[in-house]
Structure 1
C-alpha cells in the first residue's frame, strides 16, 4: 500500500513539474540546473579535502610535526576561501531557479483559473477548497521545496560517492555498516510514520486555510455583522474552525514529536560513537594514526546524513506530499496538468444547448439548479426584441437571476436552447456591482483595462448617471481607494451603469441593477438606456420599470411562466 501511495504521489508531482521543465523556459531552467549541479560537484570535492585536512591536522599535532601542521592549516584556509562563495552562490542560484519556476507556474495556474470561468465553477465544488491558498502558498511550496529536495538528493549522492571512497581506504566495515543502517532506518520511518503524517499534514493545510478564510469573511462583511449584532455567532464559528486546527495539530505533534523525532534523534546519536567503537582497537595497536579517526568520523557522518535523507527530512517530505495532493487536485480541476483522471465519469444529466447569433432568445428551456435537485422553469420560450428590452418579474426564488446565469453560461444544468451573441458583446450588471481595487478611472472603464476617453469625457458620463461631483469629491480620476467601502450601494450602481455608456456593449443584462436607487434616479438611467442602440434584459420588481421595456416575462414559483407585451399590461 505504501509503495502504491508513493508512486501515485510521484506521478502527480511529475504531471505538474514536467510542464515547466519541458515548456518554453526549459533551456533556461535546465541551464541553471546544470550550473548548480556543477557547483555541487565542486562543493563536494572541497568538502572531502577539508575533511582530509582536519585529519591531517590532528595527526600533525599528535606527532608534534610543526611544519606539517602549518602547511595543512594553510591548505585548509585556502580551501575555505573557495568553499564559502561557492556555497553562497549555489544557494542563490537554487533560490533564483525556484523563483523563476514559481513565477511561471503561478502564471499558468492563473491563466487556467480564469479560463472558461473556472474560478466561478469552483464555488460549487466542495472538493476544491481555498483556491487562493493553493495558488499562493501551495505553488510556492511545490516549486521551492521540490527544487530543494532534488538538489539535496543530488548533493547527497555526490557526498556518498566522494566520502565513501575516502572512508573505504580507512575502514570498509564502516561503509558496509552505514548502508545497512541507513536502509533499515528509512524503512522503519516510512513504514511506521509515513501514511499517518501525510494524512495529518494534508488535513492541517486544509483546516488552517478554513480558519483563515473565516477571519477574512469577517473582515469583508464587518458592517453587515455589526448591523445584525452577530458577534457571538461569528466568534463561535471562528472558534469552531480553530478547534479543528487545534485537534488535528495535537494529533500531528503526537506523531511528529513523540514518535518521529524520538526515533530520529536516537537513531542519529548512535552514529557518533560507531567510528570510535570500530577504529579504537586499530589505534591502540598502533596500526592507525589518531588523525585518521577524526577523518573517518567526518566521512562517516557525511555519508550517514546523506543516506539518511528520508529519515532526517521526513516531516518536511510529508508536508510536501500533502501539498502535492492539494495542488494536483486543483490543477486537475482547471485542466492545467491534463493528467489522466483517477476516475472516469460521464454525466447522464442533460445540459443546455447554446447557439451564437445576433439576438437573445430561449427555446423550450427547462432550467435546473447545478446539482439538478430543483427545476426552476419549465419549457420557457421567449425572444428579446432587438434594440428593445425584456423585463423579468416574479417572486423571490422563482429563478429570475438563475435565468440570467444560464444566459451568461454560468449554469448549464437543464435542457433546451439558449441563443445569444458572444459574451464579449454583452455587459452584465449584478445587483451589487463589483468594485475593483484600483483607481476611479479603472473602476469606470471596467472590464476594459484601457480607454481612449479623456478626463472630460469621463466626467461628462458621470454627470449623465447623476454623479457629477464624484471626481471633485475624491480629487482626481487617478485616486485609488477601496470603492466598495467609500461609495454607497446606490453610487456603486450608478458607477456600474456608467460602464454601459463607456464600454458601449450591444447587449446589456441588468439583475436588479437599480434596486438601491430612488424612482427618479432609476427612470433617469433607463431613459438614458433607451437613447442608445442597445438590447437589454432586466430583472426588477418595480412596476415603474415596465414602461422602459417592450415585453414582460412573469415567472412563478410553480415553474410556470407568462410572456406579455407591455401594451397589454394594465
Structure 2
C-alpha cells in the first residue's frame, strides 16, 4: 500500500506540473507575449523561474497538503465519536436553569483548536510575505547567474568580470536578506507551535481532572479521555502544523497567478501574413515577381 501510494502521488504531482507548465509556456511564448511581458507593469518578473520552480512547488505541495488534510479528517472522524461518548452528560447552570450538555469535551476541543488556528494565522501572516519575497530574490539570483553564462564570451572580451562579480554579489546580498527575514518569521511560528503543542497535551487533563477528583470517572477513563482529546485536537490543528508549508505554497501560488494574470492582460499580436503566391521577399527591401 505504501509503495502504491508513493507511485500514485508522484504520478499525480508530475502530471499536474506538466499540464500547468505546458499551459503557461504556451501562453508566454506565443503571439509576441514574451516580448511584451517585461514592459507591462505588475508583479510578473522572472517568468522562467516562476514556471520552472514555482509551478513545481505549487503542484507538489498541493498534493502533499491534500494528503495530510485527508489523514487529519479521518483521524477527527475516528476520535470525535470516542470523545463524544467519553464526555458523558455534564449539567451546566445558566441563569438559574440547569442544562444537560452532552459532548462538552468535543465542543472544548473545537473551541481550543479554533482559537489556536486564529492565533497561528496571525503569527504566520508575515511568513507568507517573507516566503514570497525570498523566492523572488532567489529567482533574481538565478537569472543573474544565467546571464553570465549566456554572455560569457562578451564578458571575457570586454574584461567585465569584476563588474559581473559585483552584480552577482549584490544579488546574493538580497538572497541573504530574504533568508534572514524568513528565518525570523519561521522562529516565531515554531515558537508558537511548540507552545501550542505543550498546552494541548496539558489542557485535556486539566479539564477532566475535576471529574476524576469528584470520583465520577476512574484514572483509566481520565487518561483515555485525555488521549482522545489530544488526537481530536491534533486533527483539528492541521493548519497550525502546516503553517510553514502552507506559507511556501501560498507564496508560489501568488507568483504563478501573477504571471497568469499578466499574460492574460496582453493582447496577442496579429499573425504574420504569408507572402502572396508568386512573390518572394528580396532581403526585406522590395518584392519582385519571379
In structure 2, the partner of 1:150 is 66
Name the structure 1 match of 2:166.
236
8 A Cα contact 2:138 2:175, kept in partner: yes
| Correspondences of 1:80-95 after superposition (within 5 Å) | 85=1, 87-95=2-10
**Residue 281 of structure 2 is aligned to residue 535 of structure 1:** yes
Whether the 8 Å contact between 1:134 and 1:327 is mirrored in structure 2 is yes
Aligned to 2:252: 323
CA gap of 1:208–1:107, structure 2 versus 1, over 3 A, is same
User: Where does residue 239 of structure 2 map in the other structure?
Assistant: 310
After TM superposition, give the deviation of residue 103 of structure 1 in Å. 1.7
Residue 168 of structure 1 aligns with which residue?
Answer: 84
2:116 is paired with a residue whose SS is helix
Instruction: Return the alpha-carbon distance in structure 2 between the equivalents of residues 216 and 550 of structure 1.
Output: 40
RCO comparison, higher one (Cα < 8 Å, 6+): 2
- Cα contact 1:275–1:293 (8 A) shared by 2: no
Q: Does 1:113 align with 2:42?
A: no
Q: How far apart are residue 295 of structure 1 and its match?
A: 4.0
C-alpha distance in 2 between matches for 1:197 and 1:204: 10
Q: What residue number does 2:127 align with? A: 197
Do 2:76 and 2:235's aligned partners in 1 also have CA atoms closer than 8 Å? yes
- SS of 1:115's equivalent in the other structure is coil
Corresponding residue number in structure 1 for 2:273: 421
Distance in 1 (CA, whole Å) between partners of 2:218 and 2:6 is 38
Give TM-score scaled by structure 2 length: 0.80
RMSD: 3.1
1:205 deviates by: 0.9
- Give me the whole-angstrom Cα distance separating, in 2, the residues matched to 1:301 and 1:550: 82
The reply on whether 1:131 has 2:47 as its aligned counterpart is yes
2:183 counterpart residue number: 253
Q: Where in structure 2 are the equivalents of 1:268-347 lying within 5 Å?
A: 268-279=197-208, 285=215, 287-288=217-218, 290=220, 292-293=221-222, 295-335=224-264
Residue 535 of structure 1, CA deviation: 1.8
CA–CA separation in structure 1 for the residues paired with 2:227 and 2:156: 65
Runs of 5+ in structure 2 lacking a partner? 88-102
Instruction: Give 1:113 deviation, angstroms.
Output: 2.0
Cα deviation digits, residues 32-51 of structure 1 (max 9, x gap)? xxxxxxxxxxxxxxxxxxxx
Q: Deviations over 1:22-70 (max 9, x none)?
A: xxxxxxxxxxxxxxxxxxxxxxxxxxxxxxxxxxxxxxxxxxxxxxxxx
1:98 aligned partner: 13
Query: Any conservation in 1 of the 2:204–2:230 contact (CA below 8 Å)?
Result: no
2:53 is the alignment partner of 1:122: no
1:240-259 per-residue CA deviation (whole Å, 9 max, x = no partner) reads 111111112212211221x2
1:141 counterpart = 2:71: no
Cα gap change, 1:206 to 1:277, in 2 (>3 Å): same
Task: Supply the distance in 2 between the matched residues of 1:254 and 1:306 (Cα, whole angstroms).
Answer: 27
Shift in alpha-carbon separation, 1:550–1:268, aligned structure 2, 3 A = closer
Q: Write the distance in 1 (CA, Å) between the matches of 2:3 and 2:108.
A: 33
Q: CA deviation at 1:206?
A: 0.6
CA distance in structure 1 between the aligned counterparts of 2:217 and 2:111, rounded to whole angstroms: 26
Residue 222 of structure 1: which of 138, 147, 152 is its match?
A: 152
CA distance in 2, matches of 1:101, 1:297: 41
Q: 2:99 aligns to what?
A: none
CA distance in 2, matches of 1:298, 1:136: 44
How far, CA to CA, are the matches of 2:217 and 2:156 in structure 1? 83
Task: Please report how far the alpha carbon of residue 306 of structure 1 lies from its aligned counterpart in structure 2 after TM superposition.
Answer: 1.7
Point out the structure with max Rg over C-alpha.
Answer: 1
> For residues 535 and 239 of structure 1, do their structure 2 counterparts lie closer, same or farther at Cα, with a shift above 3 Å needed?
same
Number of residue pairs aligned between Structure 1 and Structure 2? 269
In structure 2, the CA distance between the partners of 1:165 and 1:228, relative to structure 1 (3 Å rule), is same
Per the alignment, in what secondary structure is the counterpart of residue 282 of structure 2? strand
Asked if the contact 2:37/2:263 (under 8 Å) is kept, the reply is no
Within 2, Cα distance between the matches of 1:109 and 1:229? Answer: 38
Q: Distance in 2 between matches of 1:153 and 1:115?
A: 38
Alpha-carbon distance in 2 for matches of 1:91, 1:160: 24
TM-score between both structures, scaled by the size of structure 1: 0.43
Q: Could you say which residue in structure 1 is the equivalent of 2:110?
A: 179
* Residue number in structure 2 paired with 1:212: 142
Residue 550 of structure 1 and its aligned partner are, at CA, apart by 7.1
Looking at structure 2, the residues matched to 130 and 148 of structure 1 have their Cα atoms a distance apart, in angstroms, of: 26
Partner of 1:431: none
